[in-house]
Amino acid sequence: MREIEIWFEFGSNYSYLSVMRIEAAALQFQVTVRWKPFLLGPIFRSLGWSTSPFVLQKAKGDYVWTDMARQCRKHGLPWQRPTVFPRSALLPLRVALVGAEQPWIGAYCRRIMTLNFAEDREIDDPRLVAEVLTELGLPAQGILEEAQSDANKLRLRRQTEAAQARGIFGAPTFFVGDEMFWGDDRLDDALAHRVASPS
């Protein structure tokens, strides 16, 4: 079975589009999804930006919300412009790292994304994250403890450094083998991409 990595951030609106549709799309292409949560903030700061370019560049920012509404309509996704952008998502990302190889990761990520981009909720709130985990039938307390352990905090920093080392400059970013695809607009191309077999 082929694999696709999705490098994503819960604060990133274009990650929302991909997180919501990647599992269904990957199934059609018979591709397995590998979930790679990382922090976009340090990447942006390394580019000299204090926050999202959609905040720093007013014209682009204005456009992005029109574009998001149209893209969500096209893909049949719920959409409500968040009143806070970009939202901090440190805790939910740490939880995603704990669950990255677990069967619940897809449903968890879709729920967190929906809370941010369709229900305008503060997703970095531990009570809300606990609620989400409990609704999924998971032991919220244990998962939150593991998520906030020093070892896991360090792992998320390391994963963010790995993102940067691989040339990632935004989210979502996909890898199929060593081939990188940036942006929700390249999800279908990435899924269709075939890695050359070693000869």
Interacting residues toward a second copy by CB under 8 A: 47, 57, 59-60, 62-63, 66-67, 70, 74, 164, 167-170, 179-183, 185-186, 189
Minimum CB distance to a second copy, residue 28 (Å): 19
Minimum CB distance to a second copy, residue 165 (Å): 10
Residue located via tokens 């449903």? 107
Q: What is the largest CA-CA distance in the chain?
A: 52
Q: Report d(CA 65, CA 54) in Å as an integer.
A: 9
**Nearer to a second copy (CB atom), residue 96 or residue 176:** 176
**Nearer to a second copy (CB atom), residue 104 or residue 169:** 169
**Nearer to a second copy (CB atom), residue 104 or residue 182:** 182
**Nearer to a second copy (CB atom), residue 45 or residue 60:** 60
Minimum CB distance to a second copy, residue 34 (Å): 20
Query: For residues 11 and 86, is the Cβ–Cβ distance under 8 A?
Result: yes
8 forms beta bridges with: 37
Minimum CB distance to a second copy, residue 129 (Å): 31
User: What DSSP string runs through 28-95?
Assistant: HTTEEEEEEE--HHHHHHHTT-SS-HHHHSHHHHHHHHHHHHHHHHHHT------SSSSPP-HHHHHH
